[in-house]
Structure 1
């Protein structure tokens, strides 16, 4: 299901969103280049997340004038979690995920690893915009489209959460998230803020 989206900063380009699937792994890896290497999602994690909960992952595409397939310029990648904040465990994936039943939670040292099929929190792990499209209010449009997408669906979630660098806190507050203070997450060695 695609949804057209108007983004003033794209000078009339035809943009749309659609849920992602496991065939989109390679284009997700390409968009993820927007992050520092330590913060990038690996191809294997994309395989895991797009298999575990593709319905929570949304891509932003623009139509190409030459008739070639649309280009993904941004994405939101998320999983389900039973927690009210993003945890380091949720940022991981079970080592043997390909051989596990999809509804079997995995714990390591009493911490849930990866997706929990029945979690009522959408834990957003990546909001990425290709570098060529940054600074054009594309990220704002994508996050708004994603929250609208969550609100319009039957996802059984009571909240969406993410972690943000300090310089992005104001951005996420401007699109409806609330800052809950410094996160306990140490993902990629960074200092993060919990946004709900």
Structure 2
């Protein structure tokens, strides 16, 4: 496996992060450059990137909320970020195709979970498509069933990891 560094995002990563998001998600689901810029500005502590030889090859990002599930407005406005909230919501876990299936996404997730624990959060929440439910269960997440979120017109499942 290549030498991978996990670090906090920086504003100058915004173009690369946007590019990776466009590779990893359909246009109806992908966050925009402006959305990433806002997230990096408002909650950079919950935005980690993975890089190899100085090139960002993946990331995980989210905000803090008191909600026990992700609702669509969280994706679109940083106004829903509650700095002293009890839960961390994950918006996306992205790794470019050439670096998949070698443990980078898992490392990002484990770092994110440790960060949530270290900052005193009660749980980590996310939504995923049905084919990824098993993957997230491997980290200890529980499937809470079909989500009310209709982000991007897709069917999502609510997942919760109690810390």
TM-score by length of 1: 0.76
Q: Who is 2:10 aligned against?
A: 21
Distance apart, 1:24 and its partner CA: 1.7
Q: Distance in 1 between matches of 2:51 and 2:138?
A: 23
Q: 1:46 aligns with which of 36, 53, 61?
A: 36
C-alpha separation in 2, matches of 1:37 and 1:131:
17
After superposition, residues 105-116 of structure 1 pair within 5 angstroms as 106=79, 114-116=80-82
Report the RMSD for the aligned CA atoms in angstroms: 1.5
Which stretch of structure 1 is more off in the superposition, 116-125 or 37-46? 116-125
| SS of match in other structure, 2:98 | helix
Counterpart residue number, 2:50: 60
Mapped pair 1:79 → 2:63: yes
Give the whole-Å Cα distance in 2 for the aligned partners of 1:176 and 1:20: 25
> CA 1:31–1:148 in 2, change beyond 3 Å: closer, same or farther?
same
- Aligned partner of 1:126 among 92, 102, 109: 92
Residue in 2 aligned with 1:187? 151
Larger radius of gyration: 1
Find the partner of 1:172 among 133, 136, 140.
136
Cα displacement (A) at 1:178? 1.0
Q: Which runs of 5+ in 1 are unaligned?
A: 1-9, 64-69, 95-105, 107-113
Displacement of 1:20 after TM fit? 1.0
Mapping 1:129-168, distance limit 5 Å: 129-151=95-117, 153=118, 155-168=119-132
Distance in 1 of aligned mates of 2:77 and 2:121: 21
User: Aligned equivalents of 1:176 and 1:72: distance in 2?
Assistant: 27
Q: What is the deviation of 1:34?
A: 1.3
What displacement does 1:55 show? 0.3
